[in-house]
Each structure stands twice: as C-alpha cells, then as structure tokens.
Amino acid sequence: QQQVKQSPQSLIVQKGGISIINCAYENTAFDYFPWYQQFPGKGPALLIAIRPDVSEKKEGRFTISFNKSAKQFSLHIMDSQPGDSATYFCAASRGGAQKLVFGQGTRLTINP
C-alpha cells in the first residue's frame, strides 16, 4: 500500500525558532510533493510544493528539502510565528490529484 509517513505528530516551537516536519514515502514513482496548512475548522490550503528534479524549494519563510535517495522530504519554517500555529499535512502523488496520498498531519504550536 502506498503510504506517506509524517512525523512528529505534534510539535511545540518557540517564537522565532525553526519548525521542522518530516515525511517519508515508499513509492519511488511519486513525482509531486505538496505541503498543506490547515487552521482549526478550516479546509487545508496549499502552502508549497516540490518536484524531485530539485532538492530544495523556498518561498518566504517556508522551505521544502527533498532527499530522493532517502525517500524523504521535510518542511522547514524559519522564524516561526504564533500565526503559523496550525496542522500541516504532507502529501505525495504521481499522475494527478486523485492519486494524492496524505500524511497523518502534524499539529504545530508556536509559543509567543
């Protein structure tokens, strides 16, 4: 079964610190790796995504690091702010959005 394993389940970081969430996948055919951000009671919103032809992608304070040989990718949030407190989901797919496989989610709390 295709799986994406996400860790940790929950994470507490001090304001200004770096938040790091990791995901590991099994299917080497995956070619699209997005991260979604979800606030309580809301739907997930696409945050940033990467394809395996690059090892890193940065958008503002958010960076995805991708390690193809290890079949791992991670989200780094620099200078974490209380407004970043949310649940983050990684996902992976090949061949269209209907094939997206989601991780279990990480509840991130940024303490002021």
Q: Which residues bind other proteins (CB under 8 A)?
A: 4, 6, 9, 32, 34, 36, 41-46, 49, 89, 93, 96-98, 100, 102-105
**Shortest Cβ 29–other proteins spacing (Å):** 13
List the one residue out of 4, 6, 11 whose CA is nearest residue 86: 11
Three-class SS of residue 83?
helix
Q: Which is nearer to other proteins, 19 or 103 (CB)?
A: 103
Choose between 15 and 68: whose C-beta lies nearer to other proteins.
68
Pairing of strands 72-77, 62-67: antiparallel
Minimum CB–partner distance for residue 102 and other proteins (Å): 4
CB contact at 8 A, 87 and 108: yes
Nearer to other proteins, 3 or 17 (CB): 3
Of 53, 45, 54, 58, the closest CA to residue 91 belongs to 45
CB of 79 to other proteins, least distance (A): 26
Q: Measured from the CB of residue 44, what is the shortest distance to other proteins in angstroms?
A: 5
- Which amino acid would we find at residue 53? D
**CB nearer other proteins, residue 40 or residue 112:** 40
Helix (H, G, I), strand (E, B) or coil at 97: helix
Three-class SS state of 91: strand
